[in-house]
Amino acid sequence: MTFTKQASAGIFGIPPEMTTQSSRSTAHSVEFRVRYAETDQMQVVYHSNYLIWCEVGRTEFIRALAMPYAELERQNVTLAVVEASMRFHSAARYDNLIRVTTTISDVRSRTLTFDYVISNAETGERLVTASTKLVSLTRDSRLTTLPEPLRKVLQNAAS
């Protein structure tokens, strides 16, 4: 059984979708258009922008599932990327409609691992697959555990 529910308005005012599948895995998708500033002279998206799009996917995933990232910071918890990997399958171009689908694959007391599929939302073509590992820190950069309520919600969403 798969169901979709509308979450709060996402990036650029477009409501993201949250899809939950019976295998307990939760995927969250957000869509937006490639802006001219994100491209090179040939109107191809510059590679570092994909990492920014992963951040958009991750923060919207956390917002839709649990809380805005700003609320996490109010609780003196920040998430710092400690590992990132990307595989480029095809190029995005100016004005393409992009879909970033985010899942969470590992939740531990101090770390989270997110996986991403960045695709062309109109054609379904896979552009990039990526993964990031984040560590939970206080504002003064000391390791800390994730707040228990957040950790439980994310563990339930892990694939």
The amino acid that residue 140 corresponds to is: D
Q: Which residue has the tokens 């920014």?
A: 52
Write out the two tokens for 3. Answer: 């169901």
The amino acid that residue 142 corresponds to is: R
Q: How far is CA 38 from CA 14, 114, 139, in A?
A: 19, 23, 30
At 91 the three-state DSSP class reads coil
At 2 the three-state DSSP class reads strand
Do 7 and 15 form a contact (C-beta atoms < 8 A)? yes
Q: Which residue has the tokens 């979708």?
A: 17
Please state the separation of Cα 22 from the chain's center in Å: 21
Q: How many CB atoms lie within 10 A of CB 115?
A: 19
Residues with catalytic roles:
40
